[in-house]
Amino acid sequence: MNVLVTGGAGFIGSHLANAFLDHGHSVTVLDILDPYYDLGIKDRNLELCRETAPDRFEFVEGSITDESLVNELFADAEFDVVYHQAAQAGVRTSVENPKKPHEINTTSLLNLLEAATATGVDRFVNASSSSVYGVPEYLPYDEDHPNTPKSPYGVTKLAAEHYCRVWTDVYDLPTVSLRYFTVYGPRMRPNMAITNFTSRCLNGESPVIYGDGKQTRDFTYIDDIVDANLALLETDAADGEAMNVGSTGNITIRELAEHVIDVTGAEVEIEYTDAKEADARHTHADVSKARDLIGYEPSTSIKEGVSSFVEWYRENRSWYEPLVLRS
């Protein structure tokens, strides 16, 4: 198949691009290389794709905000499936600057949906987020749980899901939104708890927790996320739907920090600082819907996944150091 991965130089998108190449598909990545975090990581992500299948991989540097570029790309390439991962990620960033995530995550989505409809794309898979739920009325969240996002980022992801559903209902474009629950693994974003804790512990520094550490998270290993996305190449059972893709369980942030200290062997104590207002207190996914529709079965427990990540990090510290910043 001919697959477009928007945001494919980033963490999740590059894992997807690599998996599609491994499965024999042709992949185009469209990414602006936003310097939200170290661009050296994105360069290496793209290099891995090129090495995997130089003849079936193409990188287009550009923005999904650029409607003419998007239209030309779709018209020339005639994609079968689109995996839309490009976004301004980050809950806290969205609180500081809400207009940027709105423009990228919501307004620009319409460029992609229109181009996908006009060129007859078979399926449009949208990366959504557990942030669409907000304050839990019960846990684990199922897809019937009310949506009251607590951050501008969560609002953009919820609006994007609704646009996708409407594009299926009104314009006959098959779409699926996958609600990711904090994804981690090799090459993950540097500005996330697991990367921070690991890097600090390996440098002999204390992991720093925002809040009391009793908040819980459903951390999902990247391989499980890749499996959910791969399944959508094969089935139309989830068209028009939004569904959770979480992990096998949840963990408190304090337990997570203790586990990282354990695995790294660091002789440090946890430090605590003020909680961030927009952060969710608890997240935990009920994955029954994805299990029923696409056979999704997360297989990596949080402790197993974090241990593998720490092992990978030890051998690949150069991925994160030194930082390569571009203006």
Ligand X SMILES: NC(=O)c1ccc[n+]([C@@H]2O[C@H](COP(=O)([O-])OP(=O)(O)OC[C@H]3O[C@@H](n4cnc5c(N)ncnc54)[C@H](O)[C@@H]3O)[C@@H](O)[C@H]2O)c1
Q: Write down the least CB distance from residue 267 to ligand X, Å.
A: 29
Q: Write down the least CB distance from residue 173 to ligand X, Å.
A: 18
CB nearer to ligand X: pick between 104 and 121: 104
Tokens of 127: 């990366």
Indicate whether 216 belongs to the interface with ligand X (CB under 6 A): no
E-state strands within the chain: 2-6, 26-31, 57-61, 81-84, 123-129, 175-180, 183-184, 208-210, 216-217, 220-221, 241-245, 251-252, 271-273
Indicate whether 33 belongs to the interface with ligand X (CB under 6 A): yes
Q: Which of 19, 27, 28, 42 binds ligand X (CB under 6 A)?
A: 42
Catalytic (active site) residue 272: no
Q: Write down the least CB distance from residue 269 to ligand X, Å.
A: 27
Tokens of 282: 């608890």
Question: Distance (Å, rounded) from C-alpha 308 to C-alpha 36?
Answer: 25
Rg (CA), the chain: 19
Q: Write down the least CB distance from residue 140 to ligand X, Å.
A: 16
DSSP structural state of residue 276:
P
Q: Which of 111, 129, 175, 198 binds ligand X (CB under 6 A)?
A: 129
Q: Which of 87, 209, 260, 290 binds ligand X (CB under 6 A)?
A: 87
Q: Which of 3, 127, 132, 257 binds ligand X (CB under 6 A)?
A: 127
User: Which positions ≥6 away from 36 have C-beta within 8 Å?
Assistant: 88, 89, 90, 93
Question: Distance (Å, rounded) from C-alpha 245 to C-alpha 140?
Answer: 12
For 157-168, give the DSSP string.
HHHHHHHHHHHH
Indicate whether 151 belongs to the interface with ligand X (CB under 6 A): no
Question: Distance (Å, rounded) from C-alpha 226 to C-alpha 19?
Answer: 7
Indicate whether 302 belongs to the interface with ligand X (CB under 6 A): no
Which range in 32-40, 111-119, 241-249, 316-324 contacts ligand X by CB under 6 A?
32-40
Q: Which one is catalytic: 133, 141, 153, 296?
A: 153
Rule CB under 6 A: which residues touch ligand X?
6-7, 9-13, 30-34, 36, 42, 63-65, 85-89, 104, 127, 129, 180, 182-183, 189
Query: Catalytic residue numbers?
Result: 153
